[in-house]
Structure formats: C-alpha cells, structure tokens
Copies of this chain bind each other. A is one copy, B any other.
Amino acid sequence: MMELLYEKIKEYVTAEDQDLNLIDAYFQHQKIKKGTLLNKDGEVTRHAIFVVKGLFRTFIIDEQGVEHILQFSMPGWWTGNLASLLSGKPSRFFVEALEDAEILIISKDAWNSLLEKAPFYLDYHRKLVERSLIATQDRLLEAYSVDARKKYLHLLETFPDILQRVPQYMIASYLGMSRETLSRVRRQLARKNKS
C-alpha cells in the first residue's frame, strides 16, 4: 500500500528502507468514490492526502459563483489544502475526487509528530512545499504572458493523458478560459494537423 509514497520520497531525499517503514503507522489507507468532497469551503483542513490511485481537483468558487480549478492531483502527488493544514485557518477550497480513488490519509497531529521524528520526512516536506510554490508561480506567469492556444499546448505536454480523464470544461477552468474558447482552440489545432 505504501510503495508509491516510498518511491516518491526517494525521488526527493535519501532514506533507508528501515526508516521509511517507520512512517507506515501514521497513514491510513482509504478508498474514495468518484464525486466525494474531501474538503469544503470554510472547513479547516485536518488531513493531508497522498493520492495512490485516481484523480482529484482542487477548486474555488468565486463571488460570481464561477469555479476556478487550481490544481489536478494525480497518483504520487498530494492534495488537500497545504496552506490550511499548516496554518489551521479555514480553507476556501474544495477537493473533489474525479474518479474512484485510493488515498493515504494522515491527520494533522500525526503529520506533525512525523515531522519531528523522521528527519528525512521533514526534508521531503520542505521540498514538497517548495515545489508547490514553484508550480504556482509558473502558473501565474503563464496566466500573464501566454495566450489561450499556448496554455493548452503546454498543458498537453505536462499532462498528456488529462484529456482522457477530465471533461473539457474543467480543463478550460484550470487554464482560465471559457469552455467555448478551449473548444475553438482545439478545432484550430485539429485543422492544422490535418493540412
């Protein structure tokens, strides 16, 4: 059950297998049905969630009632709301399973004692947060410097299989454009490839 998490940790830091095994007791394995909300607007996030199988989205609903997707979380990544977990402040985000999924879930308390007891885990955690920050900065820059077509092409490079798994209107929301615009971008590209 823990293999994927071990793998991922080893990508970021060096740790012996015996040390890795220490963390098992902190996590619970759960199966999640498609459509389940793990986190709702206004709730304080009490768990961190590692995706083993399936796919999640993190989104917000703005004052006009429009959804904005901040993140898709694939197996091997974390989801939930890191900021709310760490700060203890209410989250404004929803986290929803887009497919039947399996997760490793860890409570805030367990998380904290893990950070204290397992130095390699502390390092791992730091790098995770750092990565989130970089990814979000990249998305901000993209929002400001790139047109709809390039945003879409860029997404295709980074998540080649996302199209098969997520309805287009969610992809449009992730990219910050209307569904219609995304549809037209796709038509354009399809035409080009034929001619």
Size of interface on A: residues with Cβ below 8 Å to B = 26
Q: Which of B68, B83, B133, B134 contacts A145 (CB 8 A)?
A: B68
Evaluate whether A83 and B133 lie within 8 angstroms (CB atoms) in the complex, with A66-B145, A145-B68 already known: yes
- Give the copy number: 2
Asked if A136 is at the interface (CB within 8 A of a chain B CB), the reply is yes
A139 to B139, CA, bound (A): 10
In the bound complex, residues from chain B placing their C-beta under 8 Å from that of A62 are 141, 145
Chain B residue nearest in CB terms to A62: B145
Q: Which of B126, B127, B133, B140 contacts A143 (CB 8 A)?
A: B140
In the bound complex, residues from chain B placing their C-beta under 8 Å from that of A83 are 130, 133-134, 137
Chain B residue nearest in CB terms to A146: B62
Q: Which of B129, B139, B141 contacts A60 (CB 8 A)?
A: B141
User: Nearest Cβ distance between residue A64 and chain B, in whole angstroms?
Assistant: 8
Of all A-B residue pairs in the complex, the 6 with the closest CB atoms, nearest first, are A144-B176, A143-B143, A136-B136, A62-B145, A83-B134, A86-B130
Apart from A83-B130, A83-B133, A140-B143, what are 8 other A-B pairs with CB-CB below 8 Å? Answer: A64-B145, A68-B141, A68-B144, A82-B130, A86-B126, A86-B127, A143-B143, A143-B176
